[in-house]
Amino acid sequence: MFTKNPYFFAFFPFALADAVLTILGQPQTYWRYGIVNEASPAYYVLQFSPYAFIAAVVVWLIIWYIIFLKLSRGIALYLSLFFIATHAWGSTSWIFVLLRNAGFYQPSDQSTIIQGWFVAMAYLAVLSTVSAYFLKRASASE
C-alpha cells in the first residue's frame, strides 16, 4: 500500500497531524458553545461538529489517495509538495496555540518564543523525515 502511492504518503503525515492538532487546538468555547477557531474552509465542518470534521478528513484523505493513484508523477509531486507546505504551515500554527494554552509559550516572552520555535522545528523535522522517505521511494520507482 505505501509503495503503491508514495506521493500521497509523503504529505499524509502533515495532513493527519494538521487534522489532529486542529481538534486539539480548539478552545474551551468550542467544546461548550461551538465557537470554532479555524482559518481554513474546515471551519464550516467544525461548526457542525468535531465528528463531522473527523469524517470529512477521512473522506478527504480517501479521495486524495485515489486521485494520487491516477496522477502523472510530475503533478503528483507538485501536489504532494503543495500539501506538505500548506499542512506544515497550518499544523505548526496549532503548536503555538497548544503551547500557549499549556502555559509554555507567551508571545511577549522571547525565551518562550524561542522554545516554541525549537518545538515547532523538531515537529517539522520528524514529519519531514517521513515525507522524505516516501519521496525517495517515489524517485527510486521511476
d(CA 9, CA 26): 26
How many domains does the chain divide into? 1
Burial (CB count <10 Å: 0-12, 13-18, 19+), residue 130 = middle
Contact 138, 73 (CB under 8 A): yes
Q: What is the pLDDT of residue 61?
A: 97
**Structural domain includes residue 114:** yes
Cell representation of residue 50: 468535531
**Structural domain includes residue 1:** no
Percent of the chain with pLDDT over 90: 92
Q: Which domain holds residue 12?
A: 6-140
**Structural domain includes residue 12:** yes
d(CA 13, CA 76): 16
**Structural domain includes residue 120:** yes
Residues of the chain with pLDDT under 50: none
**Structural domain includes residue 115:** yes
**Structural domain includes residue 22:** yes
**Structural domain includes residue 45:** yes
